[in-house]
């Protein structure tokens, strides 16, 4: 295995695959292993068929970690619970376009509170639906699995959304908006994701024997 040593991805471990009975320790471990951000999957059992964690967990993690906390809200009507995640100390909040009738209003409100605003789509939603909202964003999250569960296989037909979003960002003069890629990221799928700015990875990191090695392998960018 030959590794390209030049790092060009940031890595955001998704705590969905962490051992929740030792969450603080798991977070400290990925932090010292070189994680750049922490990806926090919030699911409401309605927008997606799974239920995870809420703002109190974000508040607790804020106390023990200096990593930026990226909250991925997979909830219906995120406008109803935004303020609790803002007060809890979220550094970025990403919402799903399909989850609200007021995406522009919600994104503007997140930014007003000095939190970074992100937008994402379920795989069935055409990527172009996101384009009118790009000027209101600090990050784009490209889903490469159906949201709801960790440890799924990457959907290859979603990969082209990364370049589609990147090209549209350039066209709109928004070159600095980073693209995060979420779902099924591992050493086998990494070669498909050269232009991802931030790799979100849960299962790959938290099941690896060494978090440090797992994160370094993802950061190194390409494996051949
Ligand atoms: C899926 C979540 C992802 C997921 C990624 O709904 O948004 O963040 O936890 O995990 P892996 O890397 O296990 O696919
Ligand atoms: Zn996620």
Specify the CATH number for the domain of residue 143.
3.20.20.70
CA dist list (Å): 59 to 28, 89, 175: 15, 6, 32
Task: Quote the percentage of the chain above a pLDDT of 70.
Answer: 95
77 pLDDT higher than 60: yes
Distance CA 167, CA 179 (A): 11
How many A from CA of 201 to the centre of ligand 1?
6
Q: Can you tell me the mean pLDDT for 130-134?
A: 98
Phi, psi of 168 (to 5 degrees): -70, -35
Regarding the beta carbon of 13 and ligand 1, being less than 6 Å apart is answered: no
207 pLDDT higher than 60: yes
41 included as an active-site residue: yes
Kindly state the tokens that stand for 78. Answer: 């995120």
First to last CA, the chain: 6
- Compute the mean pLDDT over every residue in the chain, rounded to the nearest whole number: 95
Confidence of residue 8 (pLDDT cuts 50, 70, 90): confident
How much is the pLDDT for 135?
98
Q: Domain count for the chain, please give it.
A: 1
Out of 30, 121, 143, 145, mutate this one to test ligand 1's pocket (max ligand atoms within 8 Å of CB): namely 145
Q: Which protein residue has the closest C-alpha to ligand 1 atom 4?
A: 150
DSSP state of 18: S
223 pLDDT higher than 50: no
DSSP state of 206: H
How many A from CA of 182 to the centre of ligand 1?
6
**142 within 8 A of 153, measured Cβ to Cβ:** no
217 pLDDT higher than 90: yes
Q: Can you tell me the mean pLDDT for 86-114?
A: 98
141 pLDDT higher than 70: yes
Atom of ligand 1 nearest to the CA of 72: 7
How much is the pLDDT for 6?
54
Q: Which protein residue has the closest C-alpha to ligand 1 atom 6?
A: 147
182 included as an active-site residue: yes
**36, 41, 44, 138: which is the annotated catalytic residue?**
41
By C-alpha distance, which of 112, 178, 97, 90 is closest to 139? 178
Regarding the beta carbon of 152 and ligand 1, being less than 6 Å apart is answered: yes
Q: What is the pTM of this model?
A: 0.96
Distance CA 185, CA 160 (A): 15
Q: Can you tell me the mean pLDDT for 11-35?
A: 98
CA dist list (Å): 33 to 18, 50, 61, 132: 14, 29, 17, 38
Distance CA 178, CA 19 (A): 29
Atom of ligand 1 nearest to the CA of 185: 12
Regarding the beta carbon of 42 and ligand 1, being less than 6 Å apart is answered: no
Q: Which protein residue has the closest C-alpha to ligand 1 atom 9?
A: 150
How many A from CA of 16 to the centre of ligand 1?
7
Q: Can you tell me the mean pLDDT for 195-224?
A: 91
Confidence of residue 220 (pLDDT cuts 50, 70, 90): confident
Find the domain containing 133 and state its range: 2-223
**81 within 8 A of 55, measured Cβ to Cβ:** yes
């Amino acid at each position: 295995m030959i590794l390209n040593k030049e790092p060009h991805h940031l890595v955001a471990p998704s705590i969905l695959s962490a051992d929740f009975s030792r969450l603080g320790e798991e977070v400290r471990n990925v932090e010292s292993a070189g994680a750049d951000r922490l990806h926090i999957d919030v699911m409401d059992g309605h927008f997606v068929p799974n239920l995870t964690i809420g703002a109190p967990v974000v508040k607790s993690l804020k106390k023990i970690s200096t990593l930026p906390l990226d909250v991925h809200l997979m909830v219906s009507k995120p406008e109803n619970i935004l303020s609790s995640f803002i007060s809890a100390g979220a550094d970025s909040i990403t919402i799903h376009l399909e989850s609200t009738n007021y995406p522009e209003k919600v994104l503007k409100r997140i930014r007003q509170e000095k939190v970074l605003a992100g937008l994402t789509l379920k795989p069935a939603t055409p990527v172009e639906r996101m384009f009118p909202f790009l000027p209101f964003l600090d990050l784009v999250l490209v889903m490469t699995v159906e949201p709801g569960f960790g440890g799924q296989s990457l959907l290859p037909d979603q990969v082209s959304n990364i370049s589609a979003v990147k090209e549209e960002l350039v066209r709109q003069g928004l070159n600095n908006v980073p693209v995060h890629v979420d779902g099924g990221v591992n050493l086998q799928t990494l070669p498909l994701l050269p232009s991802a700015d931030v790799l979100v990875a849960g299962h790959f990191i938290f099941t690896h024997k060494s978090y440090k090695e797992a994160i370094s392998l993802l950061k190194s960018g390409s494996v051949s």
